[in-house]
Amino acid sequence: MSEAGTQIGIARLRAAAVLGHGRGIDEATVRAALADVPDPELPTLSVVDLGIVHRVTIAPADGSIRVEILPTFVGCPALELIKAAIATRIAAFGRPVEVVATFEVPWTSERISPAGRAALEAAGIAPPGPTTQATLIDLEARVPCPHCGSRRTRLDNAFGPTQCRTIRYCTDCRQPFEAIKPV
């Protein structure tokens, strides 16, 4: 079994032990469980910290659980993996589960939680700078370097190794680094 599989297995046992099988489950319980699900491209972040969990609904009739998530990018190739990981985790509650993607509200990089921003920084990826409604991207935004903390950094490439990242360069410690794209 893979490491992720083992962790999901452990999480399932823990959920069953703490919560009882199928009793007393509410939205907060489900959201707490989702904090165990890592983002596949940024595994130090949970899907909750990433801000993609939009709505959790528990049907009064049969107790089935529906989770609506917001894709970070329209063409995010990790989306199906994320949906599967969420479905697997929520299956620990022993109820029917449905995970769907929606654009009801756009995901923006402002949705990353303070804990998520700290986790990114610890992984050497700069948290996103501020977003703006303006048509132009703020090329002058001073994104701090995750290695040395300097604000003397510049955008090297608005595009990076994944759709949600840019490549920046720190002129003090002379290291390139990745930063989450403000969107």
Partner 1 sequence: MTATAALPTTALAGLLLAMADDEFVIGFSDSEWTGIAPLLEEDVAMSSLAQDEIGHAAALYGLLAELTATDPDAIAYDREPGEYRHCRLLDHGRGDWAMTIARRYLYDTADSVRLDALVGGSWTPLAELVGKLVREERYHLMHAGTWLDRLARTDGEARDRLLAALADLGPDAATVFTPLPDEPALLDAGIIAADSAELERRWRAAIAPTFGRLDLPMPPAAREPERGRQDHGQEFRWLWGEFTMVRRSDPGAIW
Taking CB under 8 A as the rule, does residue 163 contact partner 1? yes
- 42 within 8 A of 123, measured Cβ to Cβ: yes
Burial of 5 (0-12, 13-18, 19+ CB in 10 A): exposed
As measured in angstroms, the least distance from the Cβ of 74 to partner 1 is 5
The correct pick among 142, 151, 159, 174 for binding partner 1 (CB under 8 A) is: 159
The correct pick among 102, 142, 149, 172 for binding partner 1 (CB under 8 A) is: 102
Taking CB under 8 A as the rule, does residue 115 contact partner 1? no
Residue 19: CB atoms within 10 Å: 17
d(CA 29, CA 73): 27
d(CA 182, CA 25): 35
As measured in angstroms, the least distance from the Cβ of 83 to partner 1 is 14
Footprint of partner 1 on this chain (CB under 8 A)? 71, 73-77, 102-108, 135-137, 139, 156-161, 163, 167, 181, 183
